[in-house]
A and B are shown apart, each in its own frame.
Chain A
């Protein structure tokens, strides 16, 4: 909890930018630097800024809610690896295709992005759990 007006104002402006930046990083990640891991860390920074300004608010301490988020992310990543085996391909085989959208043109859709989404969820859940544990008062 921090009473600084400057910090609170700065965070109000930077948080949406950070979330948007995370989305950009996530989408760029397939063929360029970026991806689920980094996007997750950037999102976690946004959460950390919120914690600095607002503290824990009314959140009950000691309940590791975000660990369920970690489990969900791990489950999603594992599922994207298992699905190809059901179709007779080796574990972790990914595929991709292109679709045409109005205005945007040809867009690549890759199944690897789903795996990356799992990674993103794991990183966010993990870092937020750690931040909560480190910042809560006992």
Chain B
């Protein structure tokens, strides 16, 4: 099914970004354009989800060159869901940012960079070509360098430089991996590779390529032991930008793992899934231990990003329909909840001027609504019913027990309790106690609270009504587990 709808989630942010470059000296106009662009993309993304549900996998061959000769966008349910949740959280983040950032940011290309970042993220979710995936990673990384350095504080520049170096390293490895695949199979089209990659299994080349890609996406997705760059890098920029990064960017790496592992690396390999299972356990455990040792709102949340990624990889490693569905549910839940937690941290920072837990206190007296929202989001992160985290974790644990993978199940339960402890620590120090004396009442609080409330409400809806999202993630998991069907649809898509 050839469909131009597939490319709109990339085209709309790009067109909006270009417009915003022209209006960047006028923050009010820029804000209106950016929000309209985002809402338009959100509508398109939801339409794409419905189209995939009704008509199956969508393909778009650029320039009318069919796969495997041209570059294709391939939209299955996983891609469509990822684009949709990206647009949801980015719209909330944009609303929050528009009342939180100062003119220094707004007049220095915050809005265009934000749109180009979304363009890169959506492109990475939609593409069906490995080299094209590399290009989209670069688009989103270049935008993220800009956003991360915006403000030019010494700490920011120092951490941005490290972030740039480690990402340049992983991009170079990515290119090497792509070159190896091209040399060994003669194609970079993912659908074509589904049929050609298994032929490498005897030569040992398949294992080499798999390891290179696991390292690349392990760095980008912040997996054990390659997550060290994340907590420091995400501390530097304004909290709202950290929130967008924390919610979205590492998840592009996780998505790329879900995509490549199910298409090429897991079928016919004996070591990929056990390795991922170990990495998943280690990532969640070490991430949460890192969080326990911190005394800063933002740093705790950053370490929890790492820890939570372990759960998603756990779903991939167990590799049953229920586990993959649980993993995808977890990604969606995590993007919503993690972004909302960062936004709460941003709102608290706006009010009290710090995110250091020892200097904070009594935020529950100052803003009861914010405290309630944090409580819900924190419980969702820990996996308490009736919030979205519970449904996701239930699916993962059940699939883990069914697959008799007891060790990773045990680790994930322990980590859940430690997560809960860590959220209670934030609540106790930032929201209880005497109210800190440095409270500043700042404007824009209603809009900020609205943006957070929207995300938390969605988490509640997905928790109470898990059945709403369940059919979609089940379709996504079924499509992932049948790469041959996926490849056939893509290769046989008719061009005009």
Check if B64 sits within 8 Å of A82, measured CB to CB: no
A78 touches B18 (CB 8 A): yes
Q: Does the CB pair B21–A92 fall under 8 Å?
A: no
Distance in angstroms from B157 CB to nearest chain A CB is 16
Per-position 1/0 for A80-93, Cβ under 8 A of B: 01100100111111
Hey, which chain A residues are within 8 Å of B2, CB to CB? 90
Chain A residues with Cβ under 8 A from B64's Cβ? 89-90, 93
Are A75 and B18 CB-contacts (below 8 A) given A82-B11, A89-B496, A90-B495?
yes
Q: Specify which of A67, A71, A85 lies most central, judged by the most chain B CB atoms within 10 Å of its CB.
A: A71
Assembled-state Cα–Cα distance A90/B7 (Å): 10
Q: B190 on the interface (CB 8 Å rule)?
A: no
Those of A58-109 within 8 Å (CB) of chain B: 67-68, 70-71, 74-75, 78, 81-82, 85, 88-94
Kindly list chain A residues whose C-beta atoms are within 8 Å of the C-beta of B4: 85, 90-91
Dominant SS among interface residues on chain A:
helix
Chain A residue at smallest Cβ distance from B24: A67
Instruction: Contact check, A92 vs B18: say whether CB atoms are below 8 A apart.
Output: no
By the criterion of a CB under 8 Å from any partner CB, how many residues of chain B are at the interface?
17
Number of interface residues of A (CB under 8 A): 17
Contact segment of B55-63, B211-219, B339-347: B55-63
Contact of A71 among B18, B60, B63 (CB under 8 A): B18
Residues of A close to B15: CB separation below 8 A: 75, 78
Q: How far is the CA of A67 from the CA of B22 in the complex (A)?
A: 8
C-alpha gap A68/B19 in the complex (Å)? 10
Q: Give every chain A residue within 8 A of B62 (Cβ-Cβ).
A: 90-92
B84 within 8 A of A: no
- Is B276 on the interface with A (CB-CB < 8 A)? no
Please tell me if the beta carbons of A90 and B18 are within 8 angstroms of each other in the complex. no
How far apart are the CA atoms of A68 and B21 in the complex, in Å?
7
Give the shortest distance, in Å, between B256 (CB) and chain A (any CB).
23
CA distance A82 to B495 in the complex (A): 17
Q: Is the CB of A90 within 8 A of B63?
A: yes
A residues at B contact (CB < 8 Å)? 67-68, 70-71, 74-75, 78, 81-82, 85, 88-94
